[in-house]
Structure 1
Amino acid sequence: MDARGAVARINLEAVRHNLRVAKQLAPGARAIAVVKANAYGHGDLTVAAALKDEAELFAVARFEEAQKLRAGGIRQPILLLEGFFNVAQLEYAARHDFHICIHQFAQLEALERTPLARPVTVWVKIDSGMHRVGFAPEQADEVFARLARVAAVLQPVNAMTHFARADEPEQRAVTEAQIARFQQVTKGRVKATALCNSAGVIAFPEAHADYIRPGIMLYGITPFGDQQGSDIGLRPAMDFTTTLIAVREHKAGEPVGYAGSWVSPRDTRIGVIAVGYGDGYPRMAPPGTPVLVNGRRVPLAGRVSMDMATIDLGPDATDKLGDEVLLWGQGLAAEEVARHVGTIAYELVTRMTARPRLEYIGE
């Protein structure tokens, strides 16, 4: 019996395939591979190393994420999507070829007053409609003019924006307005532009520009709520699995688990699987959420606990201890599981804790 618990098996060839799909969708653009949040739960250093021959840049959210990549041997430029927040980070970025997104005047002022050992590449974040971070379009004239006078900045600068609703096909006009707003304030003023996240790469070819920023699609997951990655030729990069650690005979009318929230309508066999919210499997996954056992779909039964979950194997089940259980991956899309849970697949893959072991194939 193999009762090793939850394992995330990462197929690196699938990640490479998915980047190629993104590049095929945008043949005139270069690729910024987004590996923030530990490569969306897939292991940032290993994923970046797998993509080092195919991605022109990498992107992360946090300064510490970029440091980890550089210390781990990644040599491509790394784009800091949130920029820097003190002079020490700015000086480090200049020394280690980090590209810097700036989105507020405090960052611009730090660039103006800080002498650097070498110039940095700057991406100006334009708030074209997300209204989270970025310079408003009416501030662009001042920002570009001031940057042009900063000796520590490579000229000309780049510009980027982020779409708020590109994953909502019925809101296409919103994204088209963002594209137009961004192009109006950047045309003829920058070296390169980047607009498209994964949804933009797929749905807005007119906005592919110089660089694309594929994120979730690298991992085989679509950003569109009513689809799954295979619909557009993506391959799931993660098989999240566990093992069956108990099989119990269960009588009709008996509850299972905390609060007795699920009661069996029939005599059946209940399987106990070694996964719970201590591994990152969502506690809010309701009864009926599917898993795969020996190639067949069976439903969750009862409430997910910290270390275990229970599934209804059915009265005629022949499954045995140690059998592998697929929670999501090849054959059961993370997007489908997310719909049962009432969340998005992004959250499923990024919320895993340190307990599940990462195993890699296709290195």
Structure 2
Amino acid sequence: MPGTIISSPHGARVNRVDWIMLQVIAALIPGIAVMIWFFGWGLLINIALAIVVAVAAEALVMKLRGRPAWPAVRDLSAVVTAILLALALPPSLPWWLTVLGVLFAIVIVKQLYGGLGYNPFNPAMAGYVFLLISYPVAVTSWLPPLVAVEHHLTFIDSARMIFLGLPPPGLAWDAVTMATPLDTMRAALGEGQTIDQIQRSPLWGEYGGLGWEWVAVAFLLGGLFLLWRRVITWHIPVSMLGALALMAGLFWLIDPQTHPSPLFHLLSGAAIVGAFFIATDPVTACTTKRGQLIFGACIGVLVFVIRTWGGYPDAVAFAVLLMNIGAPMIEHFTQPRAFGHERGRG
């Protein structure tokens, strides 16, 4: 009697790119919600604008390459890139800068190298660094967290700032924009102030900038969701955050008045979102377990070094891009030994 023979594998697990990206987007929602609460609706406008431009650019490039656009758009990788880039940008950033950063990330960094799976650099971080180097003042001017909460900035107020360049009614631009906690800490330390003096500001919370601590916690919850769903593994996040905390802790123990605590480094800026959502990008990171530990630890060390002695306090983007360059070499020297082969022999 004839029968049907089904070859292995027999598992029913779905591991499509679009499903993975959809889970990443879901994990970002808590952090996005907290950021909107503290910094206003401008973040949501930036995300929507970035997604529209990213999807359109992805489709246009695929058409120009003579390939079907729908498969590239459907995998949601462009959407994730757009969201991550928008999260790194100030909620009051002029709309054309967001468009410019997204076009650079999608067209130059991703599609110019062949599309998803071929880009050597993280597109979102490359787009952010491009804007940061080209327009440093605009990209580092954030809304004070209390402005959105106390003044109840409406969606219309945020849209006016982004599309028309007008501050909210009754407020001047000086009252609407400020430096990030990392920029503020670096500038104040350079002026000779101590940590205790800096943290007396009403814009500081328990361990970092007011509002930024809760943003970090929300993204941490999303990162734990990705670990639970096995979308990512623990190696890169733990090694990156551990190396950053270790470096910060050593200098903090030496002089706690001139070096912020490890919790400040972890809960201010993009350390948490970088560890779980950016450094873990499977295309530009290492894939071997030992390689991921080395890759993550090097990012953590670079973040501390650039924050402490470099010119850009929130150094996650630069650290990730630098280690993207080193990932192939790390991968080469951390390949597991094949079964039955002696170490050092082919």
Q: Which has the higher contact order (CA 8 A, sep 6+)?
A: 1
The TM-score normalised by the length of structure 2 is 0.29
The TM-score normalised by the length of structure 1 is 0.28
More helix, by proportion: 2
